[in-house]
Structure 1
C-alpha cells in the first residue's frame, strides 16, 4: 500500500462516553489488544468518573463536558485519536463547535470516530412536522453534528448504526419477566453495541487512510425483525410465552413510571410514537450489510445468540416478593443471628450512583452461620424498604437481590466486598445496567 493510503495509528486515544455500552467495550478492546496506546476515558460528571475509575483501574480518567470549553481543552491535550459519542437530545451545534475548537487547540488529532444513527441519505423533507417540533431527536440531531465536523475539515470516520441496539431490551427486564414485551412492532435490523465498540477500536488501530471521511452504515447483517418476531424468539429461548403488545397504550404504560419519577420528559412517549411511524414509512432503507462482519473478521452476534447469552437476566425471580413501602425509622435494627459476623453485621450508610444522581440507602445486614445473609435496605429519602433476597456471603464478599418499587419497578442484583468499615461494589438493573455502590459502617449489631 502506498504511503498516500496510510495514516498514522494513534498512540493516544480519548473516549467520550466510556461508561456506556459502546465506549466501554471500545476501551476494553484497546486495553487488551493495544496496551501501548495511552487511553484517556472521559466522563461527563463526577458519578460517571467514579464508575470509570472503578471499572478501569490504572487508566487515566478525566471529567469533561461538551459545554465546558476549559474541560474540553484539557481533555484533548495530547490526544491523537478521539471517539465521540453523544446522548440523545444533546445540543450538537454548540457541543461539536466546542469540541472542534478544543481539537484544533490541541493540534494533534489524526483520527476521530463519531457514532451517529440516521437513515442513510434520507431526505430531510420527509421528516414529519411532529418530529421537527420536538427538535432534537436523532433524525435532527446527528445531521447537525456531521455538518459541523465535516465543515471543520477534521479526519472523521462516521459509524452510522443502522439498527436497534440489542441491549435496549435490558431496559424492559421487569416487563419481560412478567411475560410482556410492550414495544411498537417496528421492523429493524439489530446489532450488539459491544461489537460497535470493537469495530470503532479496530478502525482506530487501522493504518488505512481510506477510512477517513467515510460514512459507514452497520448492522449485524441479519434479516430485519419486527418486535413481534423478537417476542417469538424470546418465547423459544426463554421457554415460556412472551406476549407482544405494540399499542400506543402499552408504550405509554411502559414509560409512565419513568415520567412520573422525573427520569424522562413527559413528551418522550409522544415523540417515540411519532418517530416509529416515520421509521415504518422509511423502513426499506434499513437493509442488512456486511460492513461490521468485514471489520470484525467474523459473523456478528445474532438476536437469538444475544438472547441466549442474556437469558438469565430475563428469568423470573423465584424469590417471593416481600416489599414494604411503609416509611420506617432508619435507626431500626435487624436482629443478629446466632452466628453473628462482626465484619459484616451492622448498619451501613450507602450511596448508589445512578444516571440521575446518587441515591442514599441504609443497609442493615446480618450474616448467618450457613453463609446466608438477611436484612434490608431502606431508602433514606422516600422511606421504601427492600428486604435482602437470596443473600449470601463468602469471606468479605457479599451478594443479594432486591425488588425496587420506587421510583420504578426493577430487580437489583448487588455484589459488594467489605474492607474494614467500608464496602464497595455494584448493583445491576435491567434499566440502568451496572451502577456503583459504596458504603461506610455506622454501627455493629448488638
Structure 2
C-alpha cells in the first residue's frame, strides 16, 4: 500500500507521517522543500518536490498510490482565496481520478457544510465537492478551531490580550491538530470503509472565547483578558497590515458567516478527541510564550 501525504511538515500532516511510519508504511510525501523534513523522517519516506498548485506535478506524484491525505494549502492571505482553493482542488481531484487512488482523507472544516457564505471555508466546501465527484472513497474531516491558531497571537498573549471578532460567549469545537492526525492516519490505514463519509473532529469540549481566556490565564500563569472587536475593526486591521481586499473578506467572513452555525456532525464519541486546550497550552504555548517574552526583553 502506498499512501500519499500532502503538507507533511504541517501540524496535522507531520503527525500523519509519523503514524504511518510507525505502522510500517513508507509514505510518499508531496512538498516544496524536502529539507524541512526532520533527518530521521527524510531517510524513511519517498519525498517528491513540487507545488500542490501544479496539477501536472500532483498527477505524476500520485501515480500508483493507493490512498491519499489531501490538504488545501491555500494561504488566507491571497487575493482570491476561494478561487485559488477551487483551482487547487480541481488539480487534486484530477490527480485522484487519473492515478487510481482508491481512498482519500481530506482535511476540511466545520462550516464547509454551508457551502457558501463562510469566507475562505467556502474553498474547502468546493474541494469537498470536487473530490466527491472523483469516484474514489472519500472521507472529509470537518475539524473544529485549531489550538495552533493561537500561535500567531504571541504578541497579544504577551501583552495579556486575546482578540476575537466572535461572540465571547458563543461555544465552538476546539481541537489539537495532532489528534486530527491520529484520526487521519487510522482512516488511511483502514480499508473497510467506502463511499462518501463526513466525520467531525471536535476536540474534547466546545469552548467559548471567554472560557478560552480563562484556560489560558491558568495554563500560561498570566492574566489573559478577552478583547472583542467588531468585524469592521478587524477588516481595518488586516487591510492596514497589507492584505488585499479579497483576503480580508475571506478571513473575516470565516467567523462572521458561521456565528449561528451548529456543526452538521454532532458531538459524539467518534467526533470527540482527547487533548484539552489546557494541556496543549501548558505543553506547547507556555514555553513558546516564555521564549517570545525573553526575546522582547533583550
| TM-score interval (norm. to shorter) | 0.7 to 0.9
Q: Does 1:79 pair with 2:65? A: yes
- Alpha-carbon RMSD across the aligned residues, in angstroms, is 2.7
Partners of 2:276 and 2:153 lie apart in 1 by 19
3-state SS of 1:189 partner: strand
Q: 1:209 deviation in Å?
A: 2.4
CA contact (8 A) 2:199 2:271 kept: no
Structure 2 residue runs of 5 or longer lacking an equivalent are 75-80
2:46 maps to which residue? 60
Q: Does 1:182 pair with 2:163? A: yes
Q: 1:62 deviation in Å?
A: 0.9
Q: Does 1:317 pair with 2:293? A: yes
Partners of 1:320 and 1:17 lie apart in 2 by 31
1:20 maps to which residue? 10
1:103 maps to which residue? 96
Q: Does 1:282 pair with 2:267? A: no
Q: 1:271 and 1:246, CA in 2 relative to 1: closer, same or farther beyond 3 A?
A: farther
2:35 maps to which residue? 50
Q: 1:253 deviation in Å?
A: 7.8
3-state SS of 2:27 partner: strand
Structure 2 residue corresponding to 1:236, chosen from 213, 218, 222: 218
2:78 maps to which residue? none
1:333 maps to which residue? none
1:357 maps to which residue? none
Q: 1:87 and 1:289, CA in 2 relative to 1: closer, same or farther beyond 3 A?
A: farther
Using CA pairs below 8 Å that are at least 6 residues apart, which structure has the higher relative contact order? 2
Partners of 2:11 and 2:147 lie apart in 1 by 11
1:304 maps to which residue? 278
Structure 1 residue corresponding to 2:107, chosen from 70, 91, 115: 115
Q: 1:164 deviation in Å?
A: 0.2
Partners of 1:244 and 1:157 lie apart in 2 by 36
Alignment of structure 1 residues 93-172 onto 2, 5 Å: 93-107=86-100, 109-119=101-111, 121-122=113-114, 124=116, 127=117, 137-138=120-121, 140-161=122-143, 163-172=144-153
Length-normalised TM-score, structure 1: 0.57
Structure 2 residue corresponding to 1:207, chosen from 154, 177, 191: 191
Length-normalised TM-score, structure 2: 0.83
CA contact (8 A) 1:220 1:302 kept: yes
Greater strand share, structure number: 1
Structure 2 residue corresponding to 1:227, chosen from 193, 203, 209: 209
3-state SS of 1:280 partner: coil
Q: 1:52 and 1:111, CA in 2 relative to 1: closer, same or farther beyond 3 A?
A: same
CA contact (8 A) 2:106 2:138 kept: yes
Q: 1:252 deviation in Å?
A: 5.7
Partners of 1:117 and 1:199 lie apart in 2 by 14
CA contact (8 A) 2:120 2:251 kept: no
The count of aligned residue pairs is 284
CA contact (8 A) 2:202 2:267 kept: yes
Q: 1:173 deviation in Å?
A: 1.1
CA contact (8 A) 2:140 2:199 kept: yes
Partners of 2:136 and 2:109 lie apart in 1 by 19
Q: 1:287 and 1:177, CA in 2 relative to 1: closer, same or farther beyond 3 A?
A: farther
3-state SS of 1:38 partner: coil
Q: 1:174 and 1:208, CA in 2 relative to 1: closer, same or farther beyond 3 A?
A: same
CA contact (8 A) 2:174 2:202 kept: yes
- Identify the range of structure 1 (142-151 vs 190-199) with the bigger mean alpha-carbon deviation: 142-151
Q: 1:78 and 1:152, CA in 2 relative to 1: closer, same or farther beyond 3 A?
A: closer
Greater helix share, structure number: 2
3-state SS of 1:61 partner: strand
Q: 1:174 deviation in Å?
A: 1.8
3-state SS of 1:279 partner: coil
Alignment of structure 1 residues 414-425 onto 2, 5 Å: none
Structure 1 residue runs of 5 or longer lacking an equivalent are 1-10, 294-298, 323-446
Higher Rg: 1
